[in-house]
Amino acid sequence: MILLAIETSCDETSAAVVDGDRVLSNAVASQIQLHAEYGGVVPELAAREHLRNLMPVVQTALRHAGVAAGQLDALAATQGPGLPLALLVGFKAAQALAFVLQKPFVGVNHHEAHLYSPWIAGSPPAADFAAFEPNVSLIVSGGHTLLVHVESELRHRVLGSTLDDAAGECFDKTGKLMGLPYPAGPEIDRLASSGNPLAYDFPRPLLHEPNDDFSFSGLKTSVRYFIRDHPEVLAGSQTISDLCASVQAAIIDVLVAKTLRATRRLGLRCVTASGGVICNRALRQELTRACAGRSYTLRLADKSLCTDNAAMIGVLALRKLAHHHPLPALDEEIKTNWALG
Ligand code: KG4
Ligand code: ZN
């Protein structure tokens, strides 16, 4: 079965063609440059950019897959959560295509798709559900930090989430305090690689609380006061690197410790992770080290599938069709605050 998926929930316009387990193409047009000027995603601009990019991106995905629109067996799009105007662009376009082609349409929860992106691997990429095992899945992006128990394929339960800022937001906001360009996450990752993570001591919020929730706004505030009291730190390249490494270590310690603790508590032996922050090299290393120490299986989403992409939307949509999940009506609306589970 060949399916075209579209993702426009935030600032990436993406289209992918998936055939069974195989991802035939995954075209992504990122808007990072556009929003960098404003220091964050501007919803109205994002929607306009999706309108401009959608058809070229869809055409690219079809061309790379060697598939004509008439050969599609099904359509899918992100239905939520996300920015309303941005979601509407991809969701309504996919519904219209399904209507014209008289094919089934699947509306996908963006976070649910993140849960399965770590199972897509290889070159060319394919979903490896034969290897699936129950797991604890960590989703960390600019807007969300979620810990989820994936009990079986398509069955999951949210264990915890962030009470305030998401981990990516914490990278971006503390980076802004240091004068780094948006999004600061990749820049902190780069600078931290030559810094000392023990140079400055920052709080590890909720680390020892008996829950699976996260909170990062207190860490951001303590970085703000630290910079106010020690402005000289921003003047030296080594001290900036040390600051980046120390902030990054605080975020990573909490993410890794709480993920591993939930896995142990639930008696599971598998951890998966996805979302833009999972591109972070030190976080990938720490998760790898921690899981290896307990002989847990770790599946990290490929970096190209950590950030928003339509491949993960298409893979989940085909899984839902295969499992005969109820499909939304063709005139159903977007769900901007669609909570996982
Ligand atoms: O999942 P994503 O592409 O977008 C949404 O939030 O929807 O995640 C973007 C976030 C940003 O906060 C960005 O700073 C962060 O992921 N990020 C990173 C790295 N690459 C992206 N954070 C830390 N280290 C990185 N290498
Ligand atoms: Zn995402």
Q: Ligand 1 pocket test: pick from 191, 256, 279 the residue with the most ligand atoms within 8 Å of its Cβ.
A: 279
**Mutation test of ligand 1: which of 41, 173, 306, 307 has the most ligand atoms closer than 8 Å to its C-beta?**
307
Record the pTM. 0.96
133 Cβ contact partners less than 8 Å away, ≥ 6 residues apart: 269, 270, 297
Residue 328 is predicted with a pLDDT of: 84
Ligand 1 midpoint to CA 222 (Å): 21
Q: Per residue in 14-29, pLDDT tens?
A: 999 999 999 999 999 9
Ligand 2 centroid–CA 312 distance in Å is: 10
Give the model's pLDDT for residue 341: 79
What is the pLDDT at residue 211? 97
Please tell me the predicted confidence (pLDDT) of residue 191.
98
Atom 6 of ligand 1: nearest residue by CA position: 142
pLDDT value for 329 = 87
Measured in Å, residue 209 CA sits from the centre of ligand 1 at 26
Atom of ligand 1 nearest to the CA of 140: 1
CA of 35 to the centre of ligand 1 (A): 14
Please report the pLDDT score of residue 287 as a whole number.
Answer: 98
> Looking at the CA of 142, which ligand is closest?
1
Regions of the chain short of the pLDDT cut 70: none
Q: Is 11 exposed, middle or buried (0-12, 13-18, 19+ CB in 10 A)?
A: buried
pLDDT tens digits, one per residue of 151-191: 999 999 999 999 999 999 999 999 999 999 999 999 999 99
| Per-residue pLDDT, 15 | 98
Q: Which chain residues have CB less than 5 Å from ligand 2, an ion?
A: 141, 308
- Convert the pLDDT of each residue in 203-224 to its tens digit: 999 999 999 999 999 999 999 9
- Residues contacting ligand 1 via CB (< 6 Å): 10, 141-143, 168, 171-172, 183-186, 189, 275-277, 279-280, 307-308
